[in-house]
Each structure stands twice: as C-alpha cells, then as structure tokens.
Amino acid sequence: MHLYPVKLLTGAILLTTCLGCAAPINNQISPDNISATATPTGIQTSYNSTTNRPATKTATISVEGEKVPITLKLYDQYSNLFTTYFPDKEFLAEGGSSGEGTGVRFIANFGGSRNDNAYVHVAFLNEVKTLGQLKSFVNGKNGLIASNKWRVVDRNQKVSYPWAKEKIVFSQGKNIVGSIYLGQQNGKVFYVFTHFPAEYGDGFPPRADLILQNLQVAGVK
C-alpha cells in the first residue's frame, strides 16, 4: 500500500492485505509522488452495537422476479466512520485500519461458500479530504481504475443513494463487473465499490444494494 503525501492513498488500501481482494487484480499502484507505506491491522469481526440503530432488521429483495425475505445485521465496528446493515447469513464482514485509512469488505458467502471475487468494499482514506482528491484517486493516471485495469462502461452523477455523488460502472476481462461510488456525507469523503463475477448478476446486486441503501456516515466530531 502506498500513500499520496497530500493528494490521496492508493487503491491498494484494503485492495491488498487481509481484505481478500480478487487475485487477478494488480494492486501495486505507483502514483506520482508516492513515498510512504503502511500495513493495516488485523481483521476485525466483532459487531458492537454502539449506535442507536437496532441490531437487526428485515428486508425483502427481488431475485428473478421472486420476493425473498432477508434478515440484516448491523455492522458498526467502525461506527465513528459509518454503519450499515448486511445479510450476515450470506456475507462475511472483514475490516482493517491503519495510519492510511479504514476499509471494510463484505464478501459473498452464499451457501457457506466464500468467493473473494464477489464483495462490497467501503474505504475511508485519511489523506483524502475533498471530493476532488477522491476523484483524482479513482480516475488518475495511476489511480484505482487504471491500476486494476478496469474498463469504464458508464458514468452517472444521478445516483439513488443520498451519500453517492457519482457512480462508475466498470468491467474487467470477460467475467468481472462492478460499480464504483464516490461518496461524500457529513464532512467525510469515501469510496465504495462492488466487484463480482457476471454469473452472480441475479443474486449479488440486490443483496449488495441492501448494504449501500443502509450505509450511514457518521458526522465529524
């Protein structure tokens, strides 16, 4: 992992190390003026209910036209940054934090079978303070998109999530698809992306949507 001293952290924060990135991705980004390195702490898996949101809730998703009830669990390990809900029977939540930033990955575990290529990734970078810096981090010559060899399919600034300022749809090779969301809320900027095999196209997106719908960013204290 590498740090932009002023501008931003590389896509390596939590794209490498313990957060289970897809093996084919090249995560060793080398942007201009990078000098510092850091290693996140170990995986965090506890869920301390320190917010006023209930520990669980229910939701209904539509999969192939069928309504499916689903139970969601509160994720608030880093409640000073954000909280959300996720289907804990179908996703594993793994987080890490270092001097560079904090990231959490919700990894698909459908039927008890973990797939590190299918996940929702949320990251707050300590040196990225503005939306402009975040855009540079994502879109720069050696940024998140370029370093991972993702091909941009579409960009849209009209996004349904209240915290999302832009959605960038991408593909990688013939099988991997996903979307990057540039987020800004309550004085914080952050990014979120989904990443999954195309054959997960029916089941993964509606479940990932629950995580994004329920994401709330903590205010600056």
Domain assignments of the chain as residue spans, ordered by start: 17-42+56-217
Which residues are CB-neighbours of 132 under 8 A, at least 6 positions away?
none
Grade residue 65 by pLDDT with cuts at 50, 70 and 90: confident
CB 47 within 8 A of CB 76: yes
List phi, psi (to 5°) of 183: -110, 145
Q: For 99-116, what is each residue's pLDDT tens digit?
A: 999 999 999 999 999 999
Q: With 60 as the cut, is the pLDDT of residue 49 above it?
A: no
Grade residue 61 by pLDDT with cuts at 50, 70 and 90: confident
* Separation of alpha carbons 41 and 39, rounded Å: 7
Give which of 76, 98, 70 is closest to 209, Cα–Cα.
Answer: 70
Tokens of 173: 């090779």
Q: Write the DSSP string, 146-194.
A: HHTTPEEEEEES--SSTTEEEEEEEEETTTEEEEEEEEEETTEEEEEEE
The string over 81-105, giving b where at least 16 C-beta atoms fall within 10 Å of a residue's C-beta and e elsewhere, is bbbbbbbbebbbbbbbbbebbbbbb
In angstroms, the first-to-last Cα distance of the chain is 28
CB 78 within 8 A of CB 102: yes
Which residues are CB-neighbours of 66 under 8 A, at least 6 positions away?
none
Domain 17-42+56-217: CATH class, spelled out: alpha beta
Grade residue 68 by pLDDT with cuts at 50, 70 and 90: confident
**DSSP alpha helices (H): ranges in the chain?**
131-139, 144-147, 204-213
pLDDT of 51: 53
CB 104 within 8 A of CB 95: yes
